[in-house]
Structure 1
Amino acid sequence: MNIVISDQILAATCMAEIELKKEIAAILLGKEKLTFVQASRLVEMNRIAFQYLLAKRQIPVHYGVDDFEKYIKNLQEMDRL
């Protein structure tokens, strides 16, 4: 599903498209409507950069079991390098 936000609405927020996406992702993550991975994909940011964004906004990260397992797998793969 695509959501179209008119240029008028975007201009009214005084935000660039990516900034608006960050706001939406942060709000939905904070309300636990999106997982960390889903929210980071929404803003097309890697996990570290998105986690930094959340830390600056003092938004706690709620990891689901799937997210946690993927995180552990990624750490194990990095350890092998």
Structure 2
Amino acid sequence: MKITLDIPDRLAESHTFSQVDWLQEVAVALFQQELVTLGTASQLAGMNQMAFQELLYDRGISLHYDLADYQADIASLRDNNWR
């Protein structure tokens, strides 16, 4: 997937908002809209999943982890002989 953004010149030329900042903002927005998974969003942001989760927590954004996700994780662990 490739994402192209049209960024106003005044923002794009700002020295206080880096490319890393832009990537994090895009990743947060896509995750918050449930368009990408946590793993994909963290990769887009250039962060490991724990660091990305901390970023989401700091912004008060839910991880979208419900009972069905929990049950799928348990089933996956059992299928892979995790005990």
Opposite residue 27 of structure 1, the aligned amino acid is: A
Total equivalences in the alignment: 71
Structure 2, unpaired ranges of 5+: 78-83
Q: Supply the AA of the counterpart residue of 1:20.
A: W
| Residues 26-69 of structure 1 deviation map (CA, whole Å, 9 limit, x = unaligned) | 0110000011000000011111111000001111112595xx64
RCO comparison, higher one (Cα < 8 Å, 6+):
1
TM-score normalised by L of structure 2:
0.63
Q: Structure 2: how far apart are the matches of 1:27 and 1:55?
A: 14
2:54 corresponds to:
52
Task: Determine what percentage of the aligned residue pairs are the same residue.
Answer: 28
Distance change >3 Å, CA 13–CA 5, structure 1 → 2: farther
Return the alpha-carbon distance in structure 1 between the equivalents of residues 15 and 31 of structure 2: 20
**TM-score between both structures, scaled by the size of structure 1:** 0.65
Q: Which has the higher helix share?
A: 1
Moved over 6 A (4+): none
- Computed over aligned residues only, the root mean square deviation of the Cα atoms, in angstroms, reads 3.2
CA distance in 1, matches of 2:48, 2:33: 21
Gaps of 5+ in 1: 74-81
